[in-house]
Amino acid sequence: MLVVPADGSYLAVLRTATAGLAARLQFTLDEIEDLRIAVDEACAMLLAVAPTGAELTCEFEVTAEALAINVTAPVKGSAALPGGQSFAWQVLTALAGKVSADTTDERATIRLTKHRSSRG
């Protein structure tokens, strides 16, 4: 788990950690780049609804066939994430594969799940 200030200048830390982990898990170069961009997009969505001074939490879950990344931040009041039909959401889905979001207890979480391509 990584925790960084909810500030765009810290997103490079999360992108780099994601890329490093995906590389160690033998994802392809294209898959690694897709994950880097997906994490960046998910964080941008959360930064838009996070209060000043908040923190982003990024948790990684490794399974035999996939890497799941949960990015979480507190939300301001009744702020909401973009809907499943929004352009931003479509980009996330194209990059990460499986994407879901949950807002509970004044926190929003975006979960990205990228399955490894089969190597024949």
Helix, strand, coil percentages (3-state) for the chain, rounded to 5, are 40, 30, 30
pLDDT tens digits, one per residue of 7-20: 999 999 999 999 99
DSSP 25-58: TT--HHHHHHHHHHHHHHHHHHHHHSPTT-EEEE
What is the per-residue pLDDT for 75? 92
pLDDT tens digits, one per residue of 79-116: 778 777 788 888 899 999 999 999 887 899 999 999 98
CA distance 35 to 68: 10
Please report the domains of the chain, with CATH numbers, ordered by start residue. Answer: 2-115 (3.30.565.10)
What is the per-residue pLDDT for 100? 93
pLDDT tens digits, one per residue of 27-78: 999 999 999 999 999 999 999 999 999 999 999 999 988 999 999 999 987 7
What is the per-residue pLDDT for 10? 95
Residue 120 has pLDDT above 70, yes or no: no
